[in-house]
């Protein structure tokens, strides 16, 4: 098998794994039905966008126009069919306006309203994932990548943390961060705040799902926060659930986001659905 064929097979497996996990979690957690239903509607659109960008990458500097023409209409259609009515109306109006400005603003790191941010991320993230190292040429950097707190590929902020399996039962391995913009992963010490760089372990907060007294719904997830910047992200412990797909499990973990908000914490980067 050629390297190209292996890459295609691996990628097909990635999209299939996301779909299977979303279906599994939607069946298991009724409270996440709406979120995961919309995500499942978007997956085939995003997979098609990934494939199109791999086969015929957009010319440098023309990504917003390329995605507005080739990806955005299908994202709007899927959202109108499966998403909340208010969001469906909002994205339809953006499509009538062309949508390219929102996509360009998202790549530039502009402060967008929730509908624009959702539409841009849903349309562009799979394309940036397909572009790999070239993604950085299309994106503005949040800050210097030398501190290890932003994506070395595109300069985006982290969406979540992932604790690798160490090979030993219930023993977590090293942490990596997953980019909210291009989906790349990179290593980051577990003794540092991914949002502000705080290294005083006394100021790093960890909440596991034990506040209700009942059996945890998400035993493989935890809230990793910081009392200095009051930011947090969710971490997925692959040792506790090797079947987890981090970007999907994070979408379903609404109770953890609510608990973090109750502690006065703000998510480092809201996920695709705005949580």
| pLDDT tens digit sequence for 12-34 | 589 999 999 999 999 999 999 99
pLDDT at 213 over 80: no
pLDDT category of residue 10 using cuts at 50, 70 and 90:
very low
Same domain for 153 and 262, yes or no, is yes
132 and 249 share one domain:
no
Got the DSSP string for the chain? --HHHHHHHHHHHHHHHHHHHHHHHHHH-GGGHHHHHHHHHHHHHHHHHHHHHHHSPPPTT-HHHHHHHHTHHHHHHHHHHHS-HHHHHHHHHHHHTTSHHHHHHHHTT----HHHHHHHHHHHHHHHHHHGGGGGGGS--SS-GGGSSS-TTT-PPEEEEEEEE-SSTT-EEEEEEEETTT--EEE--TTS-TTT----GGGEEEEES-TTSS--S-TTEEEEEETTT-EEEEEEETTT-TT--HHHHHHH-HHHHHHHHHTT-EESS--TT--
- Range of weakest confidence among 25-29, 121-125, 209-213: 209-213
Both 107 and 197 in a single domain?
no
pLDDT of residue 267: 98
Residues 17 and 122 both lie in one domain: yes
pLDDT at 22: 98
In a domain, 18, yes or no: yes
58-117, pLDDT tens digit by residue?
998 899 999 999 999 999 999 999 999 999 999 998 888 888 999 999 999 999 999 999
By residue range, what is the domain housing residue 99? 3-138
CATH code at position 207: 3.90.1670.10
Query: Does a structural domain hold residue 16?
Result: yes
Q: Average pLDDT, stretch 257-264?
A: 95
Model pTM score: 0.91
158, 177 Cβ separation under 8 angstroms? yes
Query: Is residue 120 domain-shared with residue 225, that is, in the same domain?
Result: no
pLDDT of 3 reads 34
What is the pLDDT at residue 143? Answer: 64
**Of the candidates 16, 11, 29, 9, the residue with the CA atom closest to the CA atom of residue 249:** 29
Look at residue 216 in the predicted model and tell me its pLDDT.
Answer: 87
Tell me if 273 is assigned to some domain.
no
Do 50 and 173 fall within a single domain? Answer: no
Within this chain, do residues 49 and 69 fall inside the same structural domain, yes or no?
yes
Average pLDDT, the chain: 90
In a domain, 274, yes or no: no
Residue 272 lies in a domain: no
Q: Give domain status of residue 262, yes or no.
A: yes
Statement to judge: residues 120 and 205 lie in one domain: no
Q: Considering 138, 167, 188, which residue would you say is the last residue of a domain?
A: 138
pLDDT-based confidence at residue 184 (cuts at 50, 70, 90): very high
pLDDT value of residue 4: 41
Q: Are residues 189 and 122 in the same domain?
A: no
pLDDT tier at 233 (50, 70, 90 boundaries)? very high
Last residue of a domain, one of 119, 138, 157: 138
> 127-174 pLDDT, tens per residue?
999 999 899 999 987 666 557 789 999 999 999 999 997 766 556 689
* Last-in-domain residue among 115, 138, 161: 138
What's the structural domain count of the chain?
2
Residue 107 lies in a domain: yes
């Amino acid at each position: 098998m050629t390297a190209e064929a292996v890459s295609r097979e691996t990628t097909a497996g990635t999209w299939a794994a996301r779909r299977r996990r979303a279906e599994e979690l939607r069946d298991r957690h009724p409270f996440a039905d709406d979120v995961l239903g919309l995500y499942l509607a978007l997956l085939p659109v995003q997979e098609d966008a990934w494939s199109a960008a791999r086969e015929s990458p957009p010319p440098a500097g023309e990504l917003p126009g390329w995605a507005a023409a080739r990806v955005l209409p299908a994202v709007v259609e899927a959202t109108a069919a499966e998403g909340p009515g208010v969001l469906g109306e909002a994205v339809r109006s953006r499509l009538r306006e062309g949508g390219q400005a929102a996509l360009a603003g998202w790549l530039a790191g502009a402060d967008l309203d929730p509908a624009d941010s959702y539409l841009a991320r849903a349309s562009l993230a799979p394309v940036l994932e397909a572009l790999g190292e070239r993604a950085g040429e299309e994106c503005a950097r949040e800050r210097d990548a030398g501190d290890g707190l932003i994506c070395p590929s595109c300069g985006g902020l982290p969406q979540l943390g992932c604790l690798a399996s160490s090979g030993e039962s219930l023993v977590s391995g090293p942490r990596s961060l997953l980019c909210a913009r291009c989906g790349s992963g990179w290593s980051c010490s577990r003794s540092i705040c991914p949002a502000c760089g705080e290294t005083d372990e006394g100021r790093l907060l960890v909440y596991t799902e034990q506040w209700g007294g009942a059996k945890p719904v998400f035993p493989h997830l935890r809230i990793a926060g910081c009392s200095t910047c009051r930011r947090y992200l969710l971490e997925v412990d692959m040792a506790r659930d090797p079947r987890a797909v981090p970007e999907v499990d994070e979408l379903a973990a609404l109770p953890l986001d609510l608990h973090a908000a109750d502690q006065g914490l703000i998510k480092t980067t809201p996920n695709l659905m705005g949580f």
